[in-house]
Amino acid sequence: MVIYENVLCSVCGCLCDDIEVTVEENKIVKVRNACAMGTTKLLNYYKERNTKPLIKKDGKLIPTNLDEATSKVAEILVNAEYPLIYGWSLCSSEAIKVGIELAEEVGGVIDNQASVCHGPGIQALHNSGLPTCTLGEVKHRADLIIYWGCNPEDAHPRHLTRYTLSPKSKFIKDPKERKLVVIDVRNTITAKKANLFINIEQGADFELISALRAALKFEEIEEERVAGLAVEQIEEFAEMLRSCKFGVIFFGQGLTQSLGKSKNIEAAIALVKDLNDYTKFALIPIRGHYNVAGANEVTAWQTGFPFAVDFSKGYPWYNPGETTAVDILRRGESDAALIVGSDPLAHFPKEAADHLAKNPLAVIDPDISVTALAADVVIPSAFTGIEVSGTAYRMDRVGLLMKKVVDPPEGVLSDEEILRIILKKVRILKGVA
Compute the chain's Rg from CA coordinates: 23
Segment contacting ligand SF4 by CB under 6 A, of 4-12, 47-55, 67-75, 193-201: 4-12
**Cβ nearer to ligand SF4, comparing 86 with 163:** 163
Q: How far apart are CA 77 and CA 84, in angstroms?
A: 9
Q: Which residues on adjacent β-strands are paired with residue 379? A: 364
Half-sphere exposure of 218 (CA within 13 A, CB side): 1
Measured over the CA atoms of residue 180, residue 15, residue 246 and residue 201, the dihedral's sign is negative
Tell me the closest approach of the beta carbon of residue 88 to ligand SF4, in angstroms: 18
Tell me the closest approach of the beta carbon of residue 345 to ligand SF4, in angstroms: 24
**Cβ nearer to ligand SF4, comparing 35 with 142:** 35
Q: Which residues, including other chains, have CB under 8 Å from residue 412's CB and lie 6 or more apart?
A: 51, 380, 381, 382, 387
Tell me the closest approach of the beta carbon of residue 207 to ligand SF4, in angstroms: 32
Interface with ligand SF4 (CB under 6 A), residue total 13
Tell me the closest approach of the beta carbon of residue 19 to ligand SF4, in angstroms: 7
Interface with ligand SF4, residue 38, by CB under 6 A:
yes
Q: How far apart are CA 49 and CA 142, in angstroms?
A: 43
Positions 157 through 216 that interact with ligand SF4 (CB under 6 A): 157-158
> Beta-carbon neighbour count of residue 430 at 10 Å?
13
Pair 256, 265: CB distance under 8 Å: yes
Q: How far apart are CA 125 and CA 269, in angstroms?
A: 8
Tell me the closest approach of the beta carbon of residue 424 to ligand SF4, in angstroms: 34
Stretch 126-165: interaction string toward ligand SF4, x if CB under 6 A: ------------------------------xxx-------
Interface with ligand SF4, residue 294, by CB under 6 A:
no
Interface with ligand SF4, residue 37, by CB under 6 A:
yes
**Cβ nearer to ligand SF4, comparing 168 with 424:** 168
DSSP, collapsed to helix, strand or coil, labels residue 346 as: helix
Closest of 390, 413, 297, 329 to residue 422, by C-alpha: 413
Positions 315 through 354 that interact with ligand SF4 (CB under 6 A): none
Q: How far apart are CA 124 and CA 279, in angstroms?
A: 23
**Cβ nearer to ligand SF4, comparing 13 with 99:** 13
Stretch 6-35: interaction string toward ligand SF4, x if CB under 6 A: ---x-xx-xxx-----------------xx
109 phi, psi to nearest 5 deg: -115, 130
Q: How far apart are CA 226 and CA 230, in angstroms?
A: 7
**Cβ nearer to ligand SF4, comparing 15 with 144:** 15
**Cβ nearer to ligand SF4, comparing 35 with 110:** 35
- In the complex, which residues of this chain contact ligand SF4 (CB under 6 A)? 9, 11-12, 14-16, 34-35, 37-38, 156-158
